[in-house]
Amino acid sequence: MAHLTEMLDLDAEVLHEYHREVISWVGSLTPGRPHVVDIGAGTGTGSLALAGQLPDARITAVDVDETLLEHLRSRAAERGVADRIRTVRADLDHAWPELDPADLVWASASMHHMADPGQIVARVRETLRPGGLFAITELDSFPRFLPDPAGAALEERCHAALAAHRAEAGLHMHEDWGTLLAKTGFTVEAERHFDIDLRPPLPPAAARYAQISLQRARHGLAGALSPEDLAALDEITAAIPERTDLTVRAARSVWLARRPV
């Protein structure tokens, strides 16, 4: 869990330009004094950024993991916004908590984890006020870091094996969110795709982001890759802090939809 927490925080730090652009966009479409519900809030990247973008917002951060919520509360206190962010522990695949009507529901890289996305979208619609906005951000691809041909090829084999594991686990990585939103009674207002391509020199946080991402990937690859590939991955990961040629390449998409008035 410690590695997941650090990786989520590093994602926000390293991809700060992407996060800032999306938060500014969504914030510009949100009314004054809004109630924001962040579902699958994790370590609070969205909640904290929205608290900064919308200084009169009241935010409810919902997640199933109390450790992540504790970290979120600590970060909120450090930033002086703890009085505006309430955390709620809940498994949204089961009974939903009592939530005040929302002006914005934010779901960042969380919808693909839901057992029944259609049911979750319907519950979000019920939670939103008429005219309220639902923002979904999802991963089109997980970050790639290795620029050399051999490293990049190994990285692709790792991602292919992890994608197979996610499919077996029933994760909804390639859901047609726009169609699902429309079928559930939302008016889809926008869909944007973001190609992220950060080139060296990169700050030290990017190297740590690469290292911890590869370490987490390694834990899911035992038995899925050859012993030679696993040994090579271990060697590459150990050497990450000394490399100056790393890149960060990722793709993400955002859907904005409103509950009709």
Question: What 3 state SS string does 93-149 have?
Answer: CCCCCCCCCEEEEEEECCHHHCCCHHHHHHHHHHHEEEEEEEEEEEEEEEEECCCCH
Distance set, CA 122 to CA 47, 92, 96, 187, 259 (Å)? 22, 12, 12, 13, 10
Q: Identify the domain containing residue 229 by its residue range.
A: 2-258
Question: At residue 79, what are phi and psi to the nearest 5 degrees?
Answer: -90, 0
Residue 1's pLDDT is 66
Amino acid in position 185: G
pLDDT tens, 220-240?
898 899 999 999 999 999 999
Residue 220's pLDDT is 84
**What is the pTM for the complete model shown?**
0.96
Residue 137's pLDDT is 98
pLDDT tens, 85-124?
999 999 999 989 999 999 999 999 999 999 999 999 999 9
Is the distance from CB of 193 to CB of 253 less than 8 angstroms? yes
pLDDT surpassing 90 at residue 28: yes
> How confident is the model over 31-56, as a mean pLDDT?
97
Is the distance from CB of 252 to CB of 196 less than 8 angstroms? yes
Residue 124's pLDDT is 98
User: Which CATH number characterizes residue 193's domain?
Assistant: 3.40.50.150
pLDDT surpassing 80 at residue 2: no
pLDDT band at 219 (very low <50, low <70, confident <90, very high): confident
Is the distance from CB of 221 to CB of 157 less than 8 angstroms? no
> How confident is the model over 52-64, as a mean pLDDT?
98
Distance set, CA 200 to CA 123, 207, 245, 248 (Å)? 43, 11, 6, 9
Can you name the residues that pair with 194 across neighbouring β-strands? 252
pLDDT band at 188 (very low <50, low <70, confident <90, very high): very high
* Count of domains observed in the chain: 1
> How confident is the model over 206-232, as a mean pLDDT?
94
Residue 95's pLDDT is 86
Strands across the sheet with 187-198, in order? 85-89, 58-63, 35-39, 102-108, 128-144, 248-258, 187-198
pLDDT tens, 124-174?
999 999 999 999 999 999 999 999 999 999 999 999 999 999 999 999 999
